[in-house]
Amino acid sequence: MSGYTGLYDQCDQYWNTSAAKIYRISHKTAEAEAHGAEVVDENGRRFLDFACSYGVFLLGHTHKQIVAAVTEQTLTLAMRPAGTRHPSAIALWNALQPWLPPSMSGLHFAHTGSECSEMTLRLISHRSPDRRRIVVAENGYHGKTLAALDIMGQSGHSALFGASPAEVVRVPYGDAESLNYAFQEPVAALFLEPVLGGPFITVPPAGYLQMARDLCDTQDSLLVFDEIQTAFGRAGEMMECTTQGVSPDLLFLSKGLTGGCAAMACVVSHERLSETIASLPEEFGNPRAGQPVACEAGVAAIRVIEEENLIQRARESGAYLRERLLAVTAPYPEIILDVPGKGLMTGVKCAHPGIELMLLMGMDKQNIHLGYSLNEAAAHPVLRFYPPLSVTREQIDRVADALASVLAEVAARPAFMRRFMNWFTKHKYGFPDWLYKLA
Amino acid sequence: MNTLIQDISITSAAGAVVSDGEHSWQDLSAFGFGYQCPDVVNDVVAQMQRGGLSSRVLMSRPMLQLVEQLAQLTPEDLTMTYLCNSPDEAFEGAIKLARGHNPQRREIVVVGQADFGCMTYSRAMSWGGCNAADGWGVAVDLAFVPFAEIAALEQTVTARTLAVVVNPLEQLPELLLLGREQAQQIRQVADRHGALLIACELQTFGRCEGLFHSLVSGLSPDILVYGEALGGGVLPIGAYTARRCVNESVYGGRNLALHGSTTAGNPASCAAASAALKQMAARTEHEVIRRFAEVTSIAAERLRRVLAGSGIRVSTGPAALQLTLPGPSAAALAERLRQHGLLVWQRGNALRLSAPLLMTVSQWSDSLTVVVDFMKHTQANTDKELV
């Protein structure tokens, strides 16, 4: 592993010192290539990817059909001048449209989900200049750029960067009473993830999304669904909002949108907002985003989802994965508190961040990547199991069996060791450099 | 929004030329790289076969090699690079870093009028703050001072100022490149009050010797923002490079998820950037820069003679030329130039042409000749109402 000292040093000197510490202490290698559900490092070691970059690699890595589409488009016309159009955007709209709730009529491009949040906040202010109240879910996540941080539901991110200019009310996710209470004052908009994501995976009670729609309707407030994690089959449906029959005013899509082959995000708008959008002093969307390569990736990805019947497969695989996770974690209620989730948006809710890290390290030794929360402030973080939608039963069995053995190892450790790991996890970025090098 | 070109559906492009299948144009509308450079395209396609985006659990060699290369190319003392999905996000990231570095300070001073991008804070700072009151609002006070007016800057920057933001190329009302003496004075003013100096080189990047005007002018920023051309006309990417002490004051010893994006610095965009930097090395040689400047200067002089008495002002920047009209009719003029095969940038009464980096000196010269001849024609004929 000493062959990677140079890369650890590069990481430390030129990019991110905290990342360098983590790479160094965990003896990480470098990625060489990735195909399907496997990531291969430069030494030829193969990892089963149940992290999938928090959902980006929904269709696995370098899916042949999508790579073929992006290659062809890259060779033809990768980028267009900012502000011009390209037929691929229309093709993407045509592919998306059948899966959207009724009356969604506008497609507006951005580079990232954060940018979707920022442009939406500007639209909300333009539409309701006298209403400053925005309601979001506690532990919700809508990006980390400065304006997006204003509506961040997770603690710890925004404290460093100053106060929000708006009145942002955070309500416990899924709690109808709290949501009702937040609407006692005029609300400009409500932001919700149809299934709360990140390290807090929570499925809302039945009727919660419809109640949100009804509350917004009574006040003419905007309902924004952030489906960046849930859509395209991750939570077992193409779109959660469509399946539940609840039309948002604005819908965020990204991550799985391009099948893991390009970076792109978009906001889909309801037709009732057409006039408001047309009256904006700026374009609603980034004129440099939605480039032909990314749009073609999106078209190919949706085609693959349809042709390979991946939504149905995700439902079945998701049910099987949760069943196996529930079975292997049941003997350890002091370590694993729950297996929350829906479809293939699932994971194990850990007793504390130290447990999460121990499981992550144990699974890594078994050549399995999981979605680490990177959130030591979460009391009970969910270690995410986000495989590609095409995951096989054999792969699920391999992961569940590995988890069983890692859980047995963790449970066998003395309690003080687990407490030490929790302390270490919470302080792991703050030790002196020599300690990481020693490790 | 650029309403002049939003009706064009581009189907192919090469070098500086874009086409909708029926018509072709020289794209002079942005400070871009140009299109479909074979070396960049080939490297990106090769990376896409191995993995265009990364799982990010393992290290990414393409990204780490790129950030080391950028540390060597950027001004001395700037070593820590954060790669972003777009130039817009890069500028926004720089502002976020500055806020984290000086959290108790509540003001940003922006020097001159330029375009800082599409994010909320960027928009509020663009074009002299004309958008600042519109939209979501920002949690800092913004102050604007005329370009390189050091006395005004001295009066505006205070102990409340967390950062001074300067784009070395003022874009409105005319193109004006920051001079060496002014650059040093701006640095001194920022130092005097403990404010960070952010240089936004989204437009000048790749058009000056050694890639950055900060190197030529000795601006010596704490954070340098660049992009646009960095993606080689194939994939979007932006970056900022900061002093280590500034970066570490905010992100050092803290959770690496405090700042980051799922797809930023992905292997495909890093492959594009590495290939683009190789191309730019030739483009930013002294002799090439000199020839572009010479051609631009000659065309500007010819235009000044043609337009004498019309009230139209002609200004130049690095491989760029701008006409500032006395009335608000630049859109009509831009439309006529489009009919003559040139896509140009227009805002209000200003109209600008800038050569993509793939454009040769002779192509740039030919494009400027089209403009000179066209303006000569409009002056000599009844098209005068255009201007």
Q: What ipTM, to 2 d.p.?
A: 0.95
Residue B327: pLDDT over 90: no
Helices (H), B53-166: 61-73, 87-101, 120-125, 150-156
| Whole-number pLDDT of residue B385 | 54
| Whole-number pLDDT of residue A155 | 67
Interface contact flag, B120 A144, Cβ < 8 Å: no
Residue B382: pLDDT over 60: no
Instruction: Tell which of B5, B19, B58 to mutate to test the A interface (max A CBs under 10 Å).
Output: B58
**Which residues in chain A have Cβ-Cβ distances shorter than 8 Å to B87?**
288
**Which residues in chain A have Cβ-Cβ distances shorter than 8 Å to B89?**
111-112, 114-115, 145
Interface contact flag, B27 A29, Cβ < 8 Å: no
pLDDT grade, residue B5 (50/70/90)? low
What distance in Å separates the CA atoms of residue B111 and residue B167, rounded to the nearest whole number? 7
Q: Which residues contact A439 (CB under 8 A, 6 or more apart)?
A: A24, A25
More confident residue, B142 or B129: B142
Question: Which domains does chain A carry?
Answer: 2-61+310-438 (3.90.1150.10), 64-307 (3.40.640.10)
| Whole-number pLDDT of residue A268 | 98
Residue A280: pLDDT over 80: yes
pLDDT grade, residue B1 (50/70/90)? very low
Interface contact flag, B136 A115, Cβ < 8 Å: no
Residue A1: pLDDT over 80: no
* Amino acid present at B131: N
Q: Which of B59, B65, B100 sits opposite A31 (nearest CB)?
A: B59
Q: Which of A366-370, B20-24, B136-140 has the lowest mean pLDDT?
A: B136-140
More confident residue, A162 or A208: A208
pLDDT one-digit tens code per residue, A218-250: 999 999 999 999 999 999 999 999 999 999 999
Domain with CATH 3.90.1150.10 in chain B: 12-30+285-386
Looking at the complex, report in whole angstroms how far the Cα of residue A85 sits from the nearest Cα belonging to chain B. Answer: 4
pLDDT one-digit tens code per residue, A319-344: 999 999 999 999 999 999 999 999 99
Q: How far is CA A402 from CA A354, A362, A366, B156, in A?
A: 19, 9, 7, 62
What distance in Å separates the CA atoms of residue B104 and residue B355, rounded to the nearest whole number? 42
pLDDT grade, residue A37 (50/70/90)? very high
Interface contact flag, B81 A145, Cβ < 8 Å: no
**B56 conformational bin, left if phi > 0, alpha if psi -120 to 50, beta if neither:** left
| Whole-number pLDDT of residue B56 | 83
Structure token pair of residue A357: 């890290």
Share of chain A above pLDDT 90, in %: 90
pLDDT grade, residue B383 (50/70/90)? low
Looking at the complex, report in whole angstroms how far the Cα of residue B237 sits from the nearest Cα belonging to chain A. Answer: 10
Q: Taking residues A346-356, what's their average pLDDT?
A: 97
**Which residues in chain B have Cβ-Cβ distances shorter than 8 Å to A82?**
2, 29-30
Interface contact flag, B55 A31, Cβ < 8 Å: yes
User: Could you tell me if B350 and B176 are in contact, meaning their C-beta atoms sit under 8 angstroms apart?
Assistant: no
Residue B7: pLDDT over 90: no
Interface contact flag, B59 A79, Cβ < 8 Å: no
Q: Which of A4, A34, A430 sits opposite B253 (nearest CB)?
A: A430
| Whole-number pLDDT of residue B2 | 47
Interface contact flag, A56 B262, Cβ < 8 Å: yes
**Which residues in chain B have Cβ-Cβ distances shorter than 8 Å to A147?**
119-121, 136, 138
Interface contact flag, A30 B59, Cβ < 8 Å: yes
Looking at the complex, report in whole angstroms how far the Cα of residue B103 sits from the nearest Cα belonging to chain A. Answer: 6
Average pLDDT, chain A: 95
Interface contact flag, A162 B99, Cβ < 8 Å: yes
Interface contact flag, B9 A145, Cβ < 8 Å: no
Residue A200: pLDDT over 80: yes
Burial of B380 per CB tally in 10 Å (0-12, 13-18, 19+): exposed
User: Which CATH number is B12-30+285-386's, of 2.40.40.20, 3.40.50.2020, 3.90.1150.10, 1.20.1260.10?
Assistant: 3.90.1150.10
Q: Taking residues B245-249, what's their average pLDDT?
A: 97
Interface contact flag, B64 A15, Cβ < 8 Å: yes
Structure token pair of residue B303: 């235009």
Domain with CATH 3.40.640.10 in chain B: 38-283
Which residue does chain A place closest to B46, by CA atoms?
A71
| Whole-number pLDDT of residue B278 | 95
Interface contact flag, A286 B120, Cβ < 8 Å: no
Three-class SS of B258-292: HCCCCCCCCHHHHHHHHHHHHHHHHHCCHHHHHHH
Looking at the complex, report in whole angstroms how far the Cα of residue B88 sits from the nearest Cα belonging to chain A. Answer: 9
Which residue does chain B place closest to A433, by CA atoms?
B253
**Which residues in chain B have Cβ-Cβ distances shorter than 8 Å to A30?**
58-61
User: Could you tell me if B152 and B145 are in contact, meaning their C-beta atoms sit under 8 angstroms apart?
Assistant: yes
* Amino acid present at B258: L
Which residue is listed with tokens 């050091």? B150
Q: Which of A116-120, B5-9, B222-226 has the lowest mean pLDDT?
A: B5-9
pLDDT one-digit tens code per residue, A92-132: 999 999 999 999 999 999 999 999 999 999 999 999 999 98
**Which residues in chain A have Cβ-Cβ distances shorter than 8 Å to B60?**
30-31
**Which residues in chain A have Cβ-Cβ distances shorter than 8 Å to B44?**
74, 78
| Whole-number pLDDT of residue B256 | 86
pLDDT one-digit tens code per residue, A6-24: 999 999 999 999 999 999 9
Q: Which of B9, B88, B138 sits opposite A286 (nearest CB)?
A: B88
What is the second-level CATH architecture of the domain B38-283? Answer: 3-Layer(aba) Sandwich (3.40)
Instruction: Tell which of A26, A124, A146, A158 to mutate to test the B interface (max B CBs under 10 Å).
Output: A146
| Whole-number pLDDT of residue A166 | 75
What distance in Å separates the CA atoms of residue A229 and residue A252, rounded to the nearest whole number? 10
Interface contact flag, A81 B92, Cβ < 8 Å: no
Interface contact flag, A15 B95, Cβ < 8 Å: no
Nearest alpha carbon to residue A110 among B139, B84, B54, B134:
B84
Q: Taking residues B107-136, what's their average pLDDT?
A: 88
Q: Which of B54, B58, B234 sits opposite A74 (nearest CB)?
A: B234
Q: Taking residues B88-103, what's their average pLDDT?
A: 96
**Which residues in chain A have Cβ-Cβ distances shorter than 8 Å to B131?**
281-282
Q: Taking residues A67-76, what's their average pLDDT?
A: 98
Q: Which of A77, A161, A293 sits opposite B96 (nearest CB)?
A: A161
**Which residues in chain A have Cβ-Cβ distances shorter than 8 Å to B10?**
77, 80-81, 84-86
Instruction: Tell which of B39, B43, B55 to mutate to test the A interface (max A CBs under 10 Å).
Output: B55
Share of chain B above pLDDT 70, in %: 96
Structure token pair of residue A212: 């949100």
**Which residues in chain B have Cβ-Cβ distances shorter than 8 Å to A118?**
119-120, 136
Interface contact flag, B236 A288, Cβ < 8 Å: yes
Q: Taking residues A39-44, what's their average pLDDT?
A: 97
Residue B386: pLDDT over 70: no
* Amino acid present at B95: I
| Whole-number pLDDT of residue B133 | 67
pLDDT one-digit tens code per residue, A143-165: 999 999 999 988 667 777 866 76
**A262 conformational bin, left if phi > 0, alpha if psi -120 to 50, beta if neither:** beta
Interface contact flag, A291 B236, Cβ < 8 Å: yes
pLDDT one-digit tens code per residue, B256-296: 888 878 899 999 999 999 999 999 998 888 899 999 999 99
Residue A74: pLDDT over 90: yes
**Which residues in chain B have Cβ-Cβ distances shorter than 8 Å to A126?**
134-135
Looking at the complex, report in whole angstroms how far the Cα of residue B181 sits from the nearest Cα belonging to chain A. Answer: 30
Instruction: Mark A338-360 as b/e (b = at least 16 C-beta within 10 Å).
Output: bbbbbbbbbbbbbbbbbbbbbbb
Which residue does chain A place closest to B97, by CA atoms?
A161
Q: Which of A48-52, A182-186, A421-425, B327-331 has the lowest mean pLDDT?
A: B327-331
| Whole-number pLDDT of residue B322 | 97
pLDDT one-digit tens code per residue, B26-68: 999 999 999 999 999 999 999 999 999 998 899 999 999 999 9
Interface contact flag, B139 A374, Cβ < 8 Å: no
Interface contact flag, B118 A375, Cβ < 8 Å: no
